[in-house]
Structure 1
Amino acid sequence: MANKENIRILLTDDDQDDRDFFADAVEDLHLNVTVEFCKNGLELLNFLYDKNRIIPDIIFLDLNMPVMSGFETLEQIREDILFKEIPVIAIYSTSSSQESIKNTFGSGANAYIVKPTDINELKKLIKKVVEMDWRENLKHSKLESFIITV
């Protein structure tokens, strides 16, 4: 995806500090990336169905959110043919529990990351995600390569 002129990222996270942290990391990378934000899963779905919005190239989705969890949101996204090709990166705040990993993989996420607390680590993860060839990755998603680390 790195050869695309402008990559559109949508981060859905209920925590304002985490949204700001993500925005700072993207800004520091100086990539040709536009980031938009949603605060919960319902807001994300409304964003995706808004005909005045451009569909994002990549969605980063927090799993622990009020209103509609990331798990519920992911299932809704994958049920709609319009959004099946959008890479969804599941992010989890506190751990890399095997159950969460298997659930997000089974629900159609394309990758899983543990939310870093270090900005340099976050920048490396974002850069890695943005530079991946998602057309190829969408075809051959395997649990062994599901977790993205730096």
Structure 2
Amino acid sequence: MENKENIRILLTDDDEDEREFFGQAIADLHLNYQVEFCKNGVELLDRLYDKNTDIPDIIFLDLNMPILSGFETLQKIREDNRFKNIPIIAIYSTSATPDGVKNTFKLGANAYIVKPISFTDQKNMLKKVIEIDWIEKSANAKIESFVITL
């Protein structure tokens, strides 16, 4: 993804502090990225279906959200062929549970990460995820390499 100009990143997380933390981490990477935020799955779906809004290049999706969970949101996104090639990174706030990993893999997420606690780890994780060749990784998707760690 690093060769593309002005990469559009979208984070959906109901926690305002997490959105700010994420945005600052991206800004500190000093790369040509445009970051947008949604507060919940309903807002994300509304944004994706808005014909006047560009489709993001990558979506970071918190799994623990009210109204529409990350799992439900992921399922709805993957049901629409227009969004099948958008890399979706599932984010879980506590740990990579076997059921959570398996469910997000089956629902069509491209990767699974645990929210880093430190700001430095957040930046390093985001840099690592953004630099992945998602076309190749998606073509060779395996659950064994689905969880991304530092």
Fold-level similarity (TM above 0.5):
yes
- Provide the residue aligned with 2:88 in structure 1: 88
Partner amino acid, structure 2, of 1:70: G
* Unaligned residue ranges in structure 2 (runs of 5+): none
Give the ranges of 4+ consecutive aligned residues of structure 1 lying more than 6 Å apart after TM superposition.
none
CA distance in 1, matches of 2:148, 2:31: 19
CA distance in 2, matches of 1:103, 1:130: 23
Report SS of the residue matched to 1:48.
Answer: helix
User: Structure 1 residue 129: deviation in Å?
Assistant: 1.2
TM-score for both structures, normalised by structure 1: 0.98
Within 5 Å, give how 1:60-79 maps onto structure 2. Answer: 60-79=60-79
How many aligned residue pairs are there? 150
Partner amino acid, structure 1, of 2:60: F
CA distance in 2, matches of 1:45, 1:139: 25
Aligned-pair Cα RMSD in Å: 0.6
Partner amino acid, structure 2, of 1:53: T
CA distance in 1, matches of 2:46, 2:55: 11
CA distance in 2, matches of 1:83, 1:74: 10
- Provide the residue aligned with 1:134 in structure 2: 134
Report SS of the residue matched to 1:27.
Answer: helix
- Provide the residue aligned with 2:19 in structure 1: 19
- Provide the residue aligned with 2:107 in structure 1: 107
Report SS of the residue matched to 2:89.
Answer: strand
TM-score for both structures, normalised by structure 2: 0.98
